[in-house]
Amino acid sequence: MLTKESIQKIDREIAKYPAGQKQSAVMAALAIAQEELDWLPGEAIEFVANYLGMPPIAAYEVASFYNMYDLEPVGRHKLTVCTNLPCLLSGGVDAAGYLKSKLGIGFNETTPDGRFTLKEGECMGACGDAPVLLVNNRRMCGRMQPEEIDKLLEDLE
Amino acid sequence: MAILGAINPILTVGWDGDAAWRLQDYVKRGGYKALARIFEDRISPDQLIGEIKKSGLRGRGGAGFPTGLKWSFMPKDFKDGKYIVCNTDEGEPGTFKDRDILRCNPHAVIEGMVIAAYAVGAARGYNYIHGEIWDMYKRFEEALDEARAAGFVGQDILGSGFDFELFAHHGYGAYICGEESALLESIEGKKGQPRFKPPFPASVGLYGKPTTINNTETFAAVPFVLNMGAEAYLEAGKPNNAGTKLFSVSGHVNRPGNYEIPLGTPFATLLEMAGGMRGGRKLKACIPGGSSAPVLPAEVIMDCTLDYDAISKAGSMLGSGAVIVMDETTCMVKALERLSYFYHEESCGQCTPCREGTGWLYGIVHRIEHGAGRPEDLDLLRGITANIMGRTVCALGDAASMPVQGFLKHFRDEFEYHVENGKCLVPPEVQRAGSTFFKATV
């Protein structure tokens, strides 16, 4: 189901925990699976569960509890915009509105060409850089005003 | 962004340049000296805990619990593996200091954790890092590799015979995991649902073993406390409020960012350091300790010093030191609506009063904000908070209730205006001017 490279990454995570505590690596393993597959289909969750020797339902509980896992397909670039209060005070909601009108989609929607998915995020711990958005869970972008957003969208093929 | 300003800094000295976070730079600044001295001078775990107690260091994650006392709760005679855990699951809206600590000085956190491990007799530790800060997680792992290669982490640390293994655990988006027992559940590979306490983690923690959990900034302070001495650290702040603290300033200021100041510094000084109010507008209110802390109106916060006692006396909490500044363009109903939505979203669903209550709080504030509020809504909100608080396993229910109580206490007239007139006291065009998104309007 996953490439050798992904399995190696998961093994490296398992090694961080004491013997008999493989389940501790489930968060990282699901993240690694999502990184490879772009989202988490049920088979991937089941594969991870079996690999770690835990019940599939327990892995599904984790995948559905933490909000950075995508249980449905997303576009090539998932943009998660923080609209929480500190960001709101410095334009976070306006940034989200700008993205919505520019991409022609709402939160939890994907552009018809499959390029972008827009999500509303909660505090990312970067309030000093507001407005803040996250690209594909990894890349944090701060001070996102109209020109910066325009440039980002151009750069993301 | 690193540190934007400081008064008598301790933690953030040398946070300049792109390489400041590297082992080599940290050692040049005196890093790992505190650890080396413990082994050279054969300082015992008890002496060490005594020194931390004497310094008056209090937990920097929000609760302000005395660090030395927390360490002393760990059972000494337990031989079957104890744990040290660092809480870098920084998700309290307004707080962004730990991210910069990992960015600029991860080795101070590592050194603090190794020292804590020695003090409580732990052989293994984890740093739980907030999901959204992937770059900092990678950086911390790189710093750990450096520390292992140099013999500061691992087997027989500095030839002392003391072993301590340390790893990073990456979160994946759940505010509740900042609650220490939810964080432990999360490391165990489960949903982050808080545990009933007691037993506390010092008795039954990670994998059922005694565990000490401290905030990132707390661990980062430990080497400095030992290097400068407990008394000097104590004196750097004010009585019962020892040392310096990082304050994250966000919202309507000219220079949002992190500032290190002695506890007891006037709020007005911090506001000035942060460049004052954006656009020269008037301060309306401030949430002094992260979104869970009750909001304080301008006239109250302007008279406060920033320390645990003064903020508590004013009716709020110093919390994590997240100072959210709001000017006169802010609609307080809208501000509370967004916070209430957050707590509703992030309630783990385990306890009925919180799961259902946070939904009610959001629903009612939402209808007031959208012109459908009813005259009895304000009393209803108060009643719901009273029924949530103290009736849940963890503090998220309280954290959701305190903002509601604070906003209603100090800005009741705005809520009443909304209910009576179906619209906001602050006109939409004024609200829009407060946002920096559209540069032309600033």
State the pLDDT at residue B442.
38
Q: Is A51 on the interface with B (CB under 8 A)?
A: no
Whether residue A45 is found in the same domain as residue A111: no
Question: A58 in a domain, yes or no?
Answer: yes
Closest partner residue to A86 among B93, B189, B348, by Cβ?
A: B93
Question: A85 in a domain, yes or no?
Answer: yes
Question: A70 in a domain, yes or no?
Answer: no
Whether B338 and A98 lie within 8 Å, measured CB to CB: no
Whether residue A59 is found in the same domain as residue A81: no
Whether residue A86 is found in the same domain as residue A151: yes
Whether residue A94 is found in the same domain as residue A151: yes
Q: With beta carbons less than 8 A apart as the criterion, state whether B205 and B83 touch.
A: yes
User: Which of residues A32, A65, A98 is at a domain's end?
Assistant: A65
Backbone angles phi, psi at A12, to 5 degrees: -65, -35
Whether residue A25 is found in the same domain as residue A84: no
What is the number of residues in chain A? 157
* Chain B residues 395-424 within an 8 A CB cutoff of chain A: none
CA of A78, closest CA in chain B: separation in Å? 13
Whether residue A85 is found in the same domain as residue A40: no
Whether B93 and A85 lie within 8 Å, measured CB to CB: yes
Whether residue A48 is found in the same domain as residue A110: no
Whether B172 and A91 lie within 8 Å, measured CB to CB: no
Whether residue A28 is found in the same domain as residue A55: yes
User: Which of residues A65, A98, A116 is at a domain's end?
Assistant: A65
Whether B250 and A137 lie within 8 Å, measured CB to CB: no
Q: With beta carbons less than 8 A apart as the criterion, state whether B167 and B161 touch.
A: no
- What is the number of structural domains in chain A? 2
Residue of B nearest to A126 (CA): B96
Whether B173 and A67 lie within 8 Å, measured CB to CB: yes
CA of B187, closest CA in chain A: separation in Å? 6
Q: Which domain holds residue A98?
A: 77-156
State the pLDDT at residue B441.
41
Element housing B215 (H / E): strand B211-215
Question: A11 in a domain, yes or no?
Answer: yes
Closest partner residue to A24 among B1, B98, B189, by Cβ?
A: B189
Question: A50 in a domain, yes or no?
Answer: yes
What number of helices (H) and strands (E) belong to chain A? Answer: 7, 5
pLDDT in tens, chain B (442 residues): 578 999 999 999 999 888 999 999 999 999 999 999 999 999 999 999 999 999 999 999 999 999 999 999 999 999 889 999 999 999 999 999 999 999 999 999 999 999 999 999 999 999 999 999 999 999 999 999 999 999 999 999 999 999 999 999 999 999 999 999 999 999 999 999 999 999 999 999 999 999 999 999 999 999 999 999 999 999 999 999 999 999 999 999 999 999 999 999 999 999 999 999 999 999 999 999 999 999 999 999 999 999 999 999 999 999 999 999 999 999 999 999 999 999 999 999 999 999 999 999 999 999 999 999 999 999 999 999 999 999 999 999 999 999 999 999 999 999 999 999 999 999 988 988 888 787 644 3
Whole-prediction pTM value?
0.97
Helix, strand, or coil (residue A116) = strand
CB pairs under 8 A between A and B: 184
Whether residue A96 is found in the same domain as residue A60: no
Whether residue A47 is found in the same domain as residue A114: no
Whether B170 and A27 lie within 8 Å, measured CB to CB: yes
Please name the residues in contact with A24: beta carbons below 8 A apart, sequence gap of 6 or more: A16, A17, B169, B187, B188, B189
Q: For position A108, which CATH number holds?
A: 3.40.30.10
Whether A52 and B170 lie within 8 Å, measured CB to CB: no
Residues of A in contact with B252 (CB under 8 A): 89-90
Residues of A in contact with B189 (CB under 8 A): 21-27, 52, 54, 58, 62
Question: A72 in a domain, yes or no?
Answer: no
Question: A71 in a domain, yes or no?
Answer: no
pLDDT tens-digit series, residues A20-30? 999 999 999 99
Axis crossing angle, helix B377-388 with helix B352-369, rounded to the nearest 10: 160
Whether A134 and B434 lie within 8 Å, measured CB to CB: no
Question: A151 in a domain, yes or no?
Answer: yes
Distance between CA B406 and CA A39 in Å, rounded? 41
Q: Give the mutation candidate from A99, A100, A123 for the B interface (greatest B CB count, under 10 A).
A: A123
pLDDT tens-digit series, residues A102-138? 999 999 999 999 999 999 999 999 999 999 999 999 9
Total Cβ atoms within 10 A of residue B73: 13
Whether residue A52 is found in the same domain as residue A115: no
Helix, strand, or coil (residue B188) = coil
State the pLDDT at residue B432.
85
Whether A16 and B99 lie within 8 Å, measured CB to CB: no
Q: For position A39, which CATH number holds?
A: 1.10.10.1590
- What is this model's ipTM? 0.97
Strands (E) in B64-122, as ranges, are: 83-88
Whether residue A46 is found in the same domain as residue A88: no
Distance between CA B226 and CA B106 in Å, rounded? 17
User: Which of residues A37, A65, A93 is at a domain's end?
Assistant: A65
The residue type at A47: F
| Torsion B102-B107-B112-B118 (CA) sign | positive
Structure tokens at B27: 């050692």
